[in-house]
Every structure is written in structure tokens, then in C-alpha cells.
A = this chain, B = another copy of it.
């Protein structure tokens, strides 16, 4: 249990969770975070953020993240982990990454077995023709939206202030999201937020359903030099599923600023027990 690992008072729990040591070459040493635990093992969003953080800290990194795919191959054991983040190919406009996470708990059974894999594309953001096609979600006043329950059994849920409403006519959930405590947006923070949407299966299936994300995909639509414009503002989300089929279902979500800027689109495929 290492969440407070070297974490001085006053440090945001997300920044404490993102602390990593570069061990040379492509290897980084990090620690799981008690503050972002799920009921069993880490919250998927924090693991996605860890994978991205290793790439961001790599001395050969060029540009900003454009796409990130994180596959959850097995539970992440509590404690120290290694991430090997490899810049596979660097071109004129993009840089391609491959990364894997292994437990670094000495003597742990799972030591050196890969628990998480990731691919990413970084890109040089240039000024080009721009156009937003998707429509921002229409939301009622905050007070008309249901605060989402957080639970100490899943500490990560207390790290977000979330309100939501289920629109059964449009078959989508709309939401308001914010880090708790507030924190200026950065790429790992945005990646983590992309896993904070309530799966639509909970809205449409009366039975309690045990689920687990197997793959998370994120497309970033904001450049590094634009992050400061967003700061720690409350964000809007919308989320829908297309199909539940023989043990798996998908979920698609969008993250918007309140003034109508689309920051990220994200998809998951999720295993469920039934």
C-alpha cells in the first residue's frame, strides 16, 4: 500500500499518484494509489493515467497525446510497479508508443507478468482548419441533476464530484464532472476522467451486474498549449452504449467544457458477469 508514498501534505492526491521515477532507458517506477483504489485493485482511469504519464515523462517524448488505448490484462497488484514505455517510431508529425505495466513488488507472485498494455500516438499540433461537428450536451441547472454516490469502498469515486441524469428517450447519460478537490486539467487528469462515466448497463438492466473494463480508448482533442484555458473548471459529459452482446458491451463518452469545446472522445469495451 503505497498511495501516500513520499506525498508531502498539500499535494493533490492525483499528483501524488502520478509521481514516477525514471530508471533509465524506457523504464519507470511508480506506485498504486490508495486514493484512487476501486473495490478491487486500482480504478481503471488511474491506470490509464499512469500509462500516459510514463510516456509524458520519457526524455524522447515529442508532441501531445492524440490517441491512447489501454488494455486491462489482469489486476494490478498493490504497491510498486514498472512501466516500460517505448517510443516505437518517431516521424515528422507523429510519435508512436507502446507500453506495458508489470508489478515490481519484490517476491510478489505476479512480479514481471504484464498486467496492463497500452498504445499511444503523440502528435505535433499545428494550426489548421477546425470544425466541431458533435453537439454539446444540453444540461439542466446543476441542482436538477442527481449527485452521484461516492463510496469509501471505491475511494476513487470520492475523487470526483459528479452529477448525472439518464435520458431514456435519447438513450444516453449526461453528466457534470470535476476533480475533487479541484485540479487544473492536464493529459493524465483527462485520461483518468474518461473512465469516470457510469456504465449505461446499470441504467437499463434491473439486476446488479458485475463488470470490468477490458479495453479503454481515448482520443484527445485538445493541445497542451490549450489546457490552461480549461483550468479546473467543471466539465460536461455524455455517454451511451450501442450493444450488449454475449458477455461484453461497449460504452462511448464525450468530455466537453461548459462553453462547448470537445476535449476528448472515449470508448470502452466491458466484460460483464451474467
Contacts and interface: CB of A to CB of B under 8 A. Distances in A.
Interface string A73-95: 11000000000000011010110
A96 B214 CA distance: 9
B124 A98 contact: no
Contact of A245 (B98, B130, B242): B130
B265 A250 contact: yes
Contact of A131 (B243, B262, B267): B243
Interface in A4-47: none
A207 B125 CA distance: 20
A269 B223 CA distance: 15
Decide if the interface of chain A is mainly helix, strand, loop or mixed.
Answer: strand
Given A221-B243, A246-B126, A262-B242, A215 B69 contact: yes
Interface in A163-178: 171
A91 B119 CA distance: 21
B71 A271 contact: no
Interface string A118-135: 110101111111111110
Contacts of A245: 130, 132, 221-223, 262
Interface of A: 66-67, 69, 71, 73-74, 88-89, 91, 93-94, 96, 98, 100, 113-115, 117-119, 121, 123-134, 171, 200, 204-205, 207, 214-215, 217, 219, 221-223, 240-248, 250, 252, 254, 262, 265, 267, 269, 271-272, 274
